Amino acid sequence: MNFSAKLSRPWLFLSPQKAHDWAPKALKLMSKFRRYRTLTWKPMTWRHLEFHNRLGVAGGVDKNGINIVDWWTWGPGFIEIGTVTPKPQLPNEGQIIGRNFNKKIVWNKMGFPNDGADIIYKRLNQIRTPHFTPIFLNIGKNRNTSLEEAHKDYVTLIERFRNTVDAFVINISSPNTEGLRELFNTTYFENFLGHIKNAIDSGKYDLNPPPCLLKLSPDMSIEDLRFCLETSVKMGLDGWVMTNTTTQRDGKSEFPNKGGLSGQVLSKISRQRLRDSMDLLGSNRKDKLIVSVGGVMEPEDVFERIEIGADLVQVYSTIIFEGPWFFEKVFNESSLYYALKGEL
């Protein structure tokens, strides 16, 4: 990214850590004199949730739900906050974030830093209802919770937030909490999902229970992906978010081996996992929500993921490199794209 391009994105002159720390305050300041904005393109309704457009803020951008009302002034179709854990949690030790402007890569080793369920619950309950857009809550376990007891953290969060958010995203695919991805193994997976589903179904709701989505790893083999999808369908989960960050390296990576990569480097992997999942699901795809995230860098990437079969699309790294204007950029290009396809 050249100097003139950075001038329009001054946060890119800061170190990755400083930019990350100042981003919530900067977004709040930028949004202070803006009104809520609805950017309507290819709207959809799924279950009881209405989406004015298909593009949302990915989990990890707003970890603590600080900027929800600020995001609403920029036009996303939905917002995912978190990852939230039952107890407050600090980041992993050492360097936790890095980026490469020219390659559009973001590296992180954060490990679910967040304010904890109590504070975030109070914060969410101060937001107007019904929500201006759907709010998804990405939930995870505290790093000191054992795998055998992991389901208790997720159940605690579901019970706490069940009447506060519009959907849950179960995050067992982050590479930044040691051993977390082992919950996908046959030793734990079905039993773990059983506890999650029981927690969702056991509540008494006035209208509808919040849907429960599972966030997948891009680093699964086809065999593991098949097992995960088949088990998820059997256990009655409502859909999937595809995918989390990757631990794969090309051998020339400038970033540490620990931690996950997102951005352009994830584009091909995440896109292929979406295609694989569509093929593996077959008729089981019906009525499930599929959200694609990972390497969505341009408006054309958004439209392509929808063409492949995703219902919704999310961005994370693109917000770092392009800023919140990306939602309007996609909106502006959507009219021409769908007009040429005769779908307006």
- Residues involved in catalysis: 174
- Domain 3-340 sits in CATH at 3.20.20.70
Top pLDDT among 285 and 252 is at: 285
**Which of 100, 61, 99 lies closest to 83 in space, CA to CA?**
61
Pairing between strand 97-100 and 135-139?
A: unpaired
CB 56 within 8 A of CB 43: no
Top pLDDT among 340 and 207 is at: 340
pLDDT computed for residue 85 by the predictor: 98
102 pLDDT more than 90: no
pLDDT computed for residue 250 by the predictor: 80
Percentage of the chain modeled with pLDDT above 70: 96
CB 118 within 8 A of CB 99: no
Peptide bond into 243 cis (omega under 30): yes
CB 279 within 8 A of CB 228: no
Hey, where are the domains in the chain?
Answer: 3-340
pLDDT computed for residue 13 by the predictor: 78
The residue assigned the tokens 């329009």 is 8
Residue 95: Cβ within 10 Å count: 15
Q: How far is CA 169 from CA 15, 19, 325, in A?
A: 30, 26, 25
pLDDT computed for residue 288 by the predictor: 98
pLDDT digit string, tens, across residues 31-86: 999 999 999 999 999 999 999 999 999 999 999 999 999 999 999 999 999 999 99
- Ramachandran region of residue 82, left (φ > 0), alpha (ψ -120 to 50) or beta? left
1 pLDDT more than 60: no
Would you list the DSSP string of 187-199? TTHHHHHHHHHHH
Residue 20's pLDDT band, with cuts at 50, 70 and 90, is confident
pTM of the model: 0.95
207 pLDDT more than 80: no
